[in-house]
Structure 1
């Protein structure tokens, strides 16, 4: 088996943050994140960063997401924990010299190794090209080799099904569909929050041809809560293993200004957080990636805090469910 650290370019650094004193009543994230993979428990959540701007550059977007992992860790570090959680940080895979394809391959190696060790994985992006690297890890892991049915849920204003000559932040889910087709499978791909003005008719036709299930952003508000819940319930019933991909541009620009393409409309934070908690509580989540945080475009760390809160909710919801089982 490939060791966790084989494909990592940047070794993890100790997490630091606010400290209110010793004891379980004062726990924050930086207290519970370890750096030694060998001493981590099999159910500990594992963080890996994907420092990449290459996909955004190829997609002609605003670059800066390569610094997203650092900002997400900083925003998460001082968040208070409701109960004991154990976590592992294995460091970052970095895309250098424009070689996105090699970065995907190495990220996949790290993720597959972590999943096979029993870790739920959270990938800190990076542009949304990170999603294909996450898929590669899942595809090589025991979770799918043992026959589990894959379900991919993308919280995003975009389908990211572009048929471009080179992979980019706009192509990861078409790449997944093509990879699944080579495996004799049809990609089970669902999207919540699609923005019609942000997707061409060609992309809608591609989604329909691939059998993609989706809900537009205009139907994801609080008045559409019943439909959103039903959509997520149907998705979870369709699969055994979940890949959750969160593009922070699914949120309104006021909540997530620090992305390549801020949303003029967006899906409210309370809906996105509810969906994340519901998926985490299903106990089917194997890997989650958080994409498109660009700290250089952020205002008051709003986007970093939004992304960190979603990660926090996912991990704590999954932990609570596991303890209740």
Structure 2
């Protein structure tokens, strides 16, 4: 069985609401390591990365806290790169979603070295395709996809060895239901594949995931970037930017199980858990259940 490296990044530096920095320890309290060990995985908890505190300043040139975001993402990039070089599965415990810049950039670089096809599955209520020129808030947790596609601030692009860590064809969004006006145009211009909640309502999660996974093969590395606000806030209240109308518990379980069935999961982000807004750590406990399914837990032997 694979070895899973747990990497904590306790920061809300890219967010607008305090509290996501407590996410890694919430996942630990919810029993993440023990749950994966019970499935037969070796689990190494690398502890929490260190980085600058959140200064809670106003945006400068369209972005908030750019130096701090760069520092945290550099730490994430190095930690994920180290785990991949050891042939471990890096599981990044956020922290806010800006951290996916460092995580996915490291994965993209490794995939290029190994000549694997990278597929990123972005589970989120939001597309995070804002840039410093169109973002209403300047919060970088709304910009990681743009940065990974090579359209963000200069300090946050090019880390994988190419300006764009990923291309539009390697990215699938699931659960989207909140998109800023200028983001809609950016999504159209970039040709991004978005399976929004209307698509899931009309076609169901099974057909949606069949579309997402149809061309995954033995040369594919799947990276899942899981923002807990993908779920409806009635299910997962402990998030900073909850949006009504997300996938149900069973729909998300099916999503995770179908990804697991491919056998190609290679890395994972779990972000935006905010214990300050949660109810008795319910959201972190829910995240652990979904992570178990993503790593192959199922009701029956299949």
TM-score by length of 1: 0.76
Q: Deviations over 1:211-270 (max 9, x none)?
A: 211111133259613432322223636971222101100101111111011121111121
The answer to whether structure 1 residue 65 and structure 2 residue 20 are counterparts is: yes
Q: How do residues 145-224 of structure 1 correspond to structure 2 at under 5 angstroms? A: 145-164=113-132, 168-178=140-150, 179=158, 182=163, 186-187=167-168, 188-195=170-177, 198-221=178-201, 224=204
After superposing on structure 2, the runs of 4+ consecutive aligned residues of structure 1 that deviate more than 6 Å are none
After the TM superposition, which residues 302-313 of structure 1 pair with which residues of structure 2 at under 5 Å, given as runs?
302-313=282-293
Matched, 1:262 2:238: no
What is the CA–CA distance in structure 1 between the aligned matches of 2:40 and 2:166, rounded to whole Å? 39
Check conservation: 1:221, 1:271, Cα contact below 8 A.
no
Tell me how far 1:175 sits from its aligned partner: 0.5
Change (3 A) 1:239 1:154: farther
Q: Which range moves more in the overlay, 222-231 or 47-56? A: 222-231
Give CA deviations for 1:138-186 in whole Å, capped at 9, x if unaligned.
1332x33122121111011100011116671001011000047625963
The CA deviation at 1:79 is 4.4
Residue 227 of structure 1: aligned partner = 207
| RMSD over equivalenced CA pairs, Å | 2.7
Alpha-carbon spacing, 1:222–1:313, altered in 2? closer, same or farther (3 Å)? farther
- Contact 2:218–2:264 (CA under 8 A) maintained in structure 1: no
* TM-score (normalizing by structure 2): 0.81
Whole-angstrom CA distance in 2 between matches of 1:184 and 1:49? 22
1:105 aligns with 2:74: yes
Q: How far apart, in 1, do the equivalents of 2:210 and 2:232 lie?
A: 23
User: Alignment length, in residue pairs?
Assistant: 273
Hey, what does 1:248 align to over in structure 2?
228
Per the alignment, in what secondary structure is the counterpart of residue 169 of structure 1?
helix
- Corresponding residue number in structure 1 for 2:281: 301
2:91: which partner in 1? 122
Distance in 1 of aligned mates of 2:102 and 2:232: 26
CA deviation profile, 1:270-306 (whole Å, cap 9, x unmatched): 1222212222332222211011000010013221111
In structure 1, list runs of 5 or more residues that go unmatched.
1-40
Q: Is the 8 A contact 1:132 1:175 kept in 2?
A: yes
Could you say what secondary structure the match of 1:236 adopts? coil
Q: CA 1:81 to 1:238, structure 2 compared with 1: closer, same or farther past 3 Å?
A: closer
Relative distance call for 1:82 and 1:51 in structure 2 (3 A) is closer
Task: Find out whether 1:91 has 2:47 as its counterpart.
Answer: yes
Aligned partners of 1:236 and 1:279 also within 8 Å:
no
Would you say the 8 A contact 1:53–1:64 is kept in 2? yes
* Counterpart in the other structure of 1:139: 108
d(CA) in 2 for partners of 1:146, 1:116: 11
Q: 1:32 matched to which residue of 2? A: none
Distance 1:183 1:217, change over 3 A: closer
